[in-house]
Each structure stands twice: as structure tokens, then as C-alpha cells.
């Protein structure tokens, strides 16, 4: 099957509604990067399933997006549970239409400890959410997109899918795994008209960082040559580009959104 773009946007006016008529499924969609992605997809015309472990937060965001003129539903999903993911994807298709877009964003940070001292329960939790969760999601999304005639997936990896940091063995291993899954899925499903890519955010200014003190925040900022943290909107814009027909020849890639972190 050809993956050549159909009616690819040619102007900024086209881009404002580039996802009209397409259904999107976003895990971890009710907060942080997922929130920004859900909102941007809805604003650009997609019918969005906001899927989050916090089902109430997902419903609240969906109601807001609908009130703003978009189309959205909120779904409770536990990405560590294959059946929960299956039900969520099936519900998305039943209520919103054939699945064409997916963003696998759900994730946790985990403990900070040297590898030999890393708590086993924490290791298993990070792997279950950050790696197994993407696997479970892809297993449901890819067949649904095949039935729809094609689509595009973006997995949210991290700069830690390219480099490493001391004390983060579980997170680093999981995010490297996400990049590997992305490349494998891209190879396996390209002929079915499905593109699979990943993004690797640097440190992004989300509620997860609001608990750090000024000294810790300054240290994080210093790691980025641009001299600041990233915003969720900047990551969302990159994700939406990769989902769009404008990225029709982009396949199996890991795109860093890191303010120069990995260039140092």
C-alpha cells in the first residue's frame, strides 16, 4: 500500500484543520504533554479519545474540548492492563470512527537509585507503564489502523531513549525499549500505510517539575543549551507534525525535542 500523502496541507490555513475527519487516541492524554496533544489535535479537527488512568480528568478535558467546538470523549485506561487498552481502543472506534491517529504518551518517572540498589517493585512498575504500556497500546492500535486503511502513531520516548543518566536505569531502559518498538513497528506496518515514529522530549515544564526547588530547577535548565526548559506545546507541535501528512516520508525515527540537551 502506498503511503503517499492524500491532500497534504499546503498552507497555514490548511494546517489549522489538517486532522478533520480523523479519529485520534491519546494515552496519558489528560495531563502534561498528553493534555497539550489532545487539545492541539482537537483544535485541528480530530475527534479525540482522551485516555488516561485518571478517568475523571479525561472526561473533564473532553468536555472542555467539546465546549470549545471540538469532538472528544474521555476514557479511563490502565495501559499496564492489555484488556483495559483493548476496551478503550474498541470504544474509541465505536464512538468516534475508524482509528487513524494514536499517541502513546502514558508514563511514570520511577525511583532514583543505583542499578544494584534499584527497588525491584519500582523497576517492574516503570517497565509495566513505560514499555509494556506502549506495547499493549500498539497491539490494539495497529490492527485498528490496518482496518481503517492506514494511519500514524507517535510514541513518546525521551532524551533517555538516546542517552542515559545515573540513577535512572529503569526509565532509561524502558525509553530505549520504546525507541526499539517504534522502529520495529515502523518496519512491520509500513506496507499497510501506517507510519510509526517517536519523540524524545528533554526536560519539559510540566506539573511533575513543580515540586523541585529553585536550585534543582536551575540545574535542570543549565543542561539545555537554549537556557530554559521546554514547553508541552512545543512537544505537541512536533507530535502533530509527525502525525500529519506533512511528515508522509518520516518513518521509524526518534525525533528529539530537547533544547540541545543531547548535542552537548
What are the pLDDT digits (tens) for 67-99? 999 999 999 999 999 999 999 999 999 999 999
* 167-195: pLDDT as tens digits: 999 999 999 999 999 999 999 999 999 99
Neighbours of 2 (CB within 10 A): 9
Question: Residue 207 pLDDT more than 90?
Answer: no
Helix, strand, or coil (residue 99): strand
Residue whose C-alpha is closest to residue 105's, from 144, 50, 160, 150 = 50
User: Cα torsion for 199, 200, 204, 208, to the nearest 10°?
Assistant: 100
Binned at pLDDT 50, 70 and 90, residue 227 comes out as very high
DSSP code of residue 232? H
Give the CA diameter of the chain: 54
Q: Residue 225 is placed in which grid cell?
A: 543549551
CA 201 to each of CA 32, 120, 132, 179, 188: distance values in angstroms, whole numbers, following the listed order: 12, 26, 20, 13, 25
Can you tell me the distance from the alpha carbon of 154 to that of 262, in angstroms, rounded to the nearest whole number? 20
Where is average pLDDT lowest: 1-5, 9-13, 83-87, 239-243? Answer: 1-5
DSSP state of 113: B
Q: Which of 53, 47, 97, 237 is nearest to 154 (CA)?
A: 237
With the C-alpha atoms ordered 114, 130, 235, 253, is the resulting torsion angle positive or negative? positive
> Please, are residues 113 and 57 in contact by the beta-carbon 8 Å criterion?
no
Candidate CATH numbers 3.30.360.10, 3.40.50.720, 3.90.1300.10, 3.20.20.140; the one for domain 13-256: 3.40.50.720
Query: Mean pLDDT score of the chain, rounded to an integer?
Result: 94
Q: How far is CA 130 from the centre of its chain?
A: 11
The yes-or-no verdict on residue 1 having pLDDT over 90 is no
Residue 87 near residue 51, CB atoms below 8 Å: no
User: What residues are annotated to the active site?
Assistant: 171
Q: Which three cell numbers stand for residue 192?
A: 499497510
Lowest mean pLDDT among 14-18, 63-67, 222-226: 14-18
Element of type H or E holding 71? strand 71-76
pTM surpassing 0.85?
A: yes
Lowest-pLDDT range of 41-50, 142-151, 200-209, 220-229:
200-209
The Cα 11–Cα 200 span in angstroms is 27
Amino acid at each position: 500500500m502506498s503511503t503517499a500523502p492524500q491532500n497534504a496541507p499546503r498552507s497555514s490555513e490548511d494546517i489549522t484543520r489538517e486532522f478533520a475527519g480523523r479519529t485520534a487516541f491519546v494515552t496519558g492524554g489528560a495531563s502534561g504533554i498528553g493534555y497539550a496533544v489532545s487539545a492541539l489535535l482537537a483544535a485541528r479537527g480530530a475527534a479525540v479519545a482522551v485516555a488516561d488512568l485518571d478517568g475523571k480528568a479525561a472526561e473533564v478535558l473532553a468536555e472542555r474540548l467539546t465546549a470549545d467546538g471540538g469532538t472528544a470523549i474521555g476514557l479511563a485506561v490502565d495501559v499496564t492492563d492489555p484488556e483495559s487498552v483493548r476496551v478503550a481502543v474498541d470504544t474509541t472506534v465505536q464512538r468516534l470512527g475508524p482509528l487513524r491517529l494514536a499517541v502513546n504518551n502514558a508514563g511514570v518517572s520511577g525511583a532514583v537509585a543505583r542499578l544494584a540498589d534499584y527497588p525491584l517493585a519500582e523497576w517492574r512498575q516503570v517497565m509495566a507503564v513505560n514499555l509494556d504500556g506502549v506495547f499493549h497500546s500498539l497491539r490494539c492500535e495497529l490492527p485498528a489502523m490496518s482496518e481503517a486503511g492506514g494511519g500514524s502513531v507517535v510514541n513518546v520516548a525521551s532524551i533517555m531513549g538516546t542517552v542515559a543518566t545515573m540513577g535512572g536505569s529503569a526509565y532509561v531502559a524502558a525509553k530505549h525499549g520504546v525507541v526499539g518498538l517504534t522502529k520495529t513497528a515502523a518496519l512491520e506496518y509500513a506496507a499497510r500505510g501506517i507510519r510509526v515514529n517517536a519523540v524524545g522530549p528533554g526536560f519539559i515544564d510540566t506539573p511533575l517539575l513543580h515540586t523541585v526547588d529553585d536550585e534543582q530547577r536551575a540545574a535542570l535548565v543549565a543542561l539545555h543549551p537554549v537556557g530554559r526548559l521546554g514547553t508541552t506545546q512545543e512537544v505537541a507541535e512536533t507530535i502533530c507534525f509527525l502525525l500529519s501528512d506533512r511528515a508522509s516520508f518520516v518513518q521509524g525515527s526518534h525525533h528529539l525535542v530537547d533544547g540541545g540537551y543531547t548535542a552537548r
